[in-house]
Structure 1
Amino acid sequence: MRFCWFLSLASFSSVSLAATAADWRGKSIYQVFTDRFSLTSTGSTDACDVTKNEYCGGTWKGVQSRLDYIQGMGFTAIWISPITLQVPGGYHGYYQTDLYHLNDHFGTADDLKSLAADLKSRGMYLMVDVVPNHMGWPGCPDTVDFSQLHPFNDASYYHPYCPLNNYDNQTEAEVCWLGDCNTEMPDLKTEDATVAAGMQDWIKSLVSNYSIDGLRMDSVKDVNKDFFPGFCSAAGVFCMGEVADGRADYAYAYQDYMDSILDYPMYFSINRTFQQQSDMSDLKYNLELSKNGGTGGSKDNTLLGTFIENHDNPRFPWSTDDMSLVKNAIAFTILSDGIPIIYQGQEQHLAGADDPGCREAIWPTGYNTSTPLYGHIAYINQMRNFAQSQSSSYLTYKNWVTNYTADTIMMRKDIVRTILTNQGESGGSYSLTTEGMGFESGETVVEVFTCDKYTADTNGEVKVQMSGGLPRVLFSESILLEGFGMCVLSSR
């Protein structure tokens, strides 16, 4: 009889007063879209029509009440929506009007502090979304009353109005305004010393007041790069920027100015590979590129935010309901290089389309912990947390491709060996001999999804049973026994 030991995942992490990039490298992040995650009340029947683009009632108290649900999946950090005061209807948090006042739709200062304290008691980190690029105004650009925006209450703090029409023009991206006559977004003159200093004063106080461990910075490509070193230094915590661009050389260059970025180049590659079932050479190429510190590569891909869903893009199941494909994509997200990020609702297999469709409320699901993907995510997070507890080099060991075909890829990241496929649920049952996995001759190897055991041949390879297009993850049995980890014999 075999069974899996589910470890206390939070025990692998400790919270420091100022969380560094090295501290964040080992975290696994659950993205909370605050207004749509959990109501303060325990009821789960309140309607939320995403097409109305209005508040649905999620709060910080609601988030705190569901931390067991989040931690049950093995997450060691959460990322919440921007917390500042908004224009009416700014449910997402990106239309701020006052940096020094909180969004009372989400709760009070005490509510936010209580959430932060609860996270700390669990050994978890708090990442807060911030918006350094712009403020918000409920109308056309020629109606903006700058005196109503705080603390930047004069037109001199903003770029003169011009519509942002061409994202490929860097100057236009940095100085022109996002928005329309429903909600305009006055573009802050972040290259101005007074504005930069004001932003630094604000972020320093925000981090201190609410015990924030990390920042997700919105619309980074719309801000001059030189702004970020001073801003992040003032914050004194880990900074991850949103560079929503699939060009690796363009996106990764921003890591010279901040700790990390959301890995959009890899996001597009993962989705092409597992949603569209493109050739595995796409994933291999982008994985190799991301870890290349030279031209086109990232400075440190072990700090990049790896994801396949968020609040701005269609959900993975919107394109395919094949459960095997999404399980492979999630396995890559969590077990490859980088800091894994899972967006709320992935565990419930939500299938919303592009914004606003991907911003569904979670409470109608009843926070079901018995769904296939809730357990899948929890188990793979367990693997990652277990691996870093057993090997001090696991997190910085760069994942490398040992072999690949058109529909299958084999990878090794230190003590974790992964086999992924995009055959989908129609994939048949067959034996696959590994290549380059580096086991010892005669060593017993355990595949931890099935708990099947294999013996490595004289070349250190094993013949793994594949079935139904599902992922496979291999560990040395000796490591599992030493760590009381997964698939340990009950006699142990």
Structure 2
Amino acid sequence: MKHHKMLLKTFKVLSLLLGVIPIEALDKHGWRKQSIYSLLTDRFATTESVNCNPEDRAYCGGNWKGIINKLDYIQNMGFTAIWISPVIKNIEGATKYGEAYHGYWPQDLLSLNPHFGTEEDLIDLSDALHERGMYLMVDTVVNHMAAPDTRNIDFSIYSPFNKEEHYHPMCPIIQSDPLSLEQCWIGTEDVTLPDVDTENPFIIETLYNFIHDHVKKFKIDGLRIDAAKHVRQTFWPGFCEAAGVYCQGEEWTGEAAAFCEWQGFMDGLHNFPVQGVASEAVIPVNDRALRKTAIAMNLVAHHCIDSTLLGLFLESQDAPRLAALNNDFNVLKNAMTLNLMSDGIPIVFYGQEQMLDGSHDPINRPAMWITGYHTEGPLYKYTAKVNQIRRDLINSQDGEEWIRTRTHAIPVGDNVMLMYKGPVITFITNYGSVNKEYIIKMPASEPMVDLLTCTLIEVENEILKTTIHLGEPKILYPYKLTMRDGFCADKLSLQDEIPGVFMGHNEINGPDKK
């Protein structure tokens, strides 16, 4: 053991002398401190400008080299990791649903998708991230292969499972039947996904060996697991242990208790119970959606083993863009604030920061090189600001405790929600940029600072009173901690908030947190 530690120390010294800063291995506790930018490789960046009509559902030319060229764009927004779409070789050719540009129709687990680049290109992407102190999460598909002709499936084209006996018998999925979910086939008569027999000892050993070698070869730091609920739960602990990295699975359900059960089998999950209601909260007519969001957040925090290891997202390739539901800038700012400041690892889908407005698949998956990488856009700059606040809180004296603390959400009326996470109180609203203000009163023993505006909010008679203007979000932090941790050092105003003049006015007594 001493000899091993000495070798490790020697390696680090030599690395520093050579100008190389080795990145430390990232465990699940390290992942909760990250902020993830999620992207479709084919649609995010290319090495040459090509036209792309997303409605064609065809390859557009995005690749791993293109991503490397746009890492400044991602990192300057405050993201510390990227999640890329599946990298393995997919079936070729057009189907009723287009080509496999998204990566979820596998053919060969042991080869990379040539549309995205070479093995060297993927390793270069991993190295480029690590040189920046960033991390790579790769989407992983092991539940199934894909077949465009359901009547005549040629199992010999698949690798490493090239025999019919390697798959469950074809059957339609019955959502209410757990065994059916695990063993029957996803898809339709036009494109079906032959379901790999993950009860077969040969299959299990092969998949465990595959993921171990895959992660090691391409220097992957974390896995996103597609279609997790379509494989028996007990398969996943061994799979993630073989991978040796953080696993975040897709378990698409809105019921918190059933959802949280899955965290007993992998480190994290996509937080669908919260996403399902929080994304609806941007719709103007959905007045009670923030109440439902608070309920969902609290249920997940209660039922899950550790809600701070979940992945929180509001946009994805399978969901409408938020700007398609409501293009009010202040509502979108609130959505981004919720995304970045509540429990878990925030995940922002590419283009969310550009307020892309595709309402459905496939138009919610445009090519970024056509829509543009605008770094002066208001939501891009706001995302960078909130990501920086989150990062500064993590790096503060009490940062480890703060990031591990579970959020308690409290609705205040139909259009305001408070998120308590340690000493931080985040105000989320969804009524937008209208001439209306809310005055929130709550018990408090010390003044607070809004870290978004560096405004001091005084306490009078043990009551903190703050005004919400035009539906703006707030991130409140105790004044003493603000001074201790160096927030707002050059900007803090030592005056009370001065309300503007508005036509509307509501006064709400905030929650007693005692």
Shared fold per TM-score greater than 0.5: yes
Superposition deviation, residue 403 in structure 1: 5.9
Superposition deviation, residue 355 in structure 1: 1.8
Question: Would you say the 8 A contact 2:427–2:475 is kept in 1?
Answer: yes
* SS in structure 2 at match of 1:143: coil
Quote the residue 1:477 is aligned against: 479
Cα displacement string for residues 395-420 of structure 1 (whole angstroms, at most 9, x for unaligned residues): 11111235622221222212321111
**CA distance in 2: counterparts of 1:364 and 1:481, whole angstroms:** 44
Say whether residues 1:197 and 2:199 are aligned partners: no
**CA distance in 2: counterparts of 1:487 and 1:341, whole angstroms:** 29
Quote the residue 1:6 is aligned against: none
* SS in structure 1 at match of 2:404: coil
Quote the residue 1:216 is aligned against: 224
Alignment: residue pair count: 464
Superposition deviation, residue 232 in structure 1: 0.5
Say whether residues 1:385 and 2:385 are aligned partners: no
Alignment of 1:359-438 (within 5 A): 359-390=365-396, 391=398, 392-401=400-409, 404-426=412-434, 428-433=436-441, 435=442, 438=444
Quote the residue 1:7 is aligned against: none
Q: 1:39 to 1:353 in 2, by over 3 A?
A: same
Quote the residue 2:38 is aligned against: 31
* SS in structure 1 at match of 2:476: strand
Unmatched runs of 5 consecutive residues or more in structure 1? 1-12
Quote the residue 1:233 is aligned against: 241
Superposition deviation, residue 377 in structure 1: 1.0
* SS in structure 1 at match of 2:403: coil
**CA distance in 2: counterparts of 1:337 and 1:477, whole angstroms:** 23
**CA distance in 1: counterparts of 2:393 and 2:88, whole angstroms:** 38
Alignment of 1:131-142 (within 5 A): 131-140=141-150, 142=151
**CA distance in 1: counterparts of 2:492 and 2:287, whole angstroms:** 39
Quote the residue 2:466 is aligned against: 464
Question: Would you say the 8 A contact 1:313–1:354 is kept in 2?
Answer: yes
Quote the residue 2:159 is aligned against: 150
Q: 1:280 to 1:353 in 2, by over 3 A?
A: closer
Say whether residues 1:348 and 2:357 are aligned partners: no
Aligned-partner residue type, residue 61 of structure 1? K
Aligned-partner residue type, residue 111 of structure 1? D
* SS in structure 2 at match of 1:273: helix
What TM-score, normalized to structure 2?
0.86
Alignment of 1:83-122 (within 5 A): 83-88=87-92, 89-122=99-132
Quote the residue 1:9 is aligned against: none
Q: Once the two structures are aligned, what percentage of the paired residues are identical? A: 36
* SS in structure 2 at match of 1:58: coil
**CA distance in 2: counterparts of 1:115 and 1:169, whole angstroms:** 41
Superposition deviation, residue 481 in structure 1: 3.4
* SS in structure 1 at match of 2:215: helix
Q: Which runs of 4+ in 1 moved over 6 A?
A: none
Using the TM superposition, name which of 265-274 and 192-201 deviates more.
265-274
Superposition deviation, residue 465 in structure 1: 2.5
The counterpart of 1:178, out of the listed 183, 186, 193, is: 186
Cα displacement string for residues 141-162 of structure 1 (whole angstroms, at most 9, x for unaligned residues): x311111100011111101111
Aligned-partner residue type, residue 75 of structure 1? F
CA RMSD of aligned residues (A): 2.0
Aligned-partner residue type, residue 29 of structure 2? A
**CA distance in 2: counterparts of 1:288 and 1:97, whole angstroms:** 41
Quote the residue 2:52 is aligned against: 48
Question: Would you say the 8 A contact 1:448–1:472 is kept in 2?
Answer: yes
Superposition deviation, residue 479 in structure 1: 3.0
Question: Would you say the 8 A contact 2:282–2:326 is kept in 1?
Answer: no
* SS in structure 2 at match of 1:374: helix
Cα displacement string for residues 297-341 of structure 1 (whole angstroms, at most 9, x for unaligned residues): 211100111010001111112222122222112111111111100
**CA distance in 2: counterparts of 1:484 and 1:462, whole angstroms:** 22
Quote the residue 2:252 is aligned against: 244
**CA distance in 2: counterparts of 1:247 and 1:334, whole angstroms:** 22
Say whether residues 1:67 and 2:71 are aligned partners: yes
Unmatched runs of 5 consecutive residues or more in structure 2? 1-20, 93-98, 494-514
Alignment of 1:160-171 (within 5 A): 160-164=169-173, 166-171=174-179
* SS in structure 2 at match of 1:357: coil
Q: Give the number of the structure with larger relative contact order, counting CA–CA contacts within 8 Å between residues 6 or more apart.
A: 1
Cα displacement string for residues 362-416 of structure 1 (whole angstroms, at most 9, x for unaligned residues): 1113200111110111111111111111122011111123562222122221232
The counterpart of 2:265, out of the listed 240, 257, 262, is: 257
What TM-score, normalized to structure 1?
0.90
Q: Greater CA radius of gyration, 1 or 2?
A: 2
Question: Would you say the 8 A contact 2:455–2:492 is kept in 1?
Answer: no
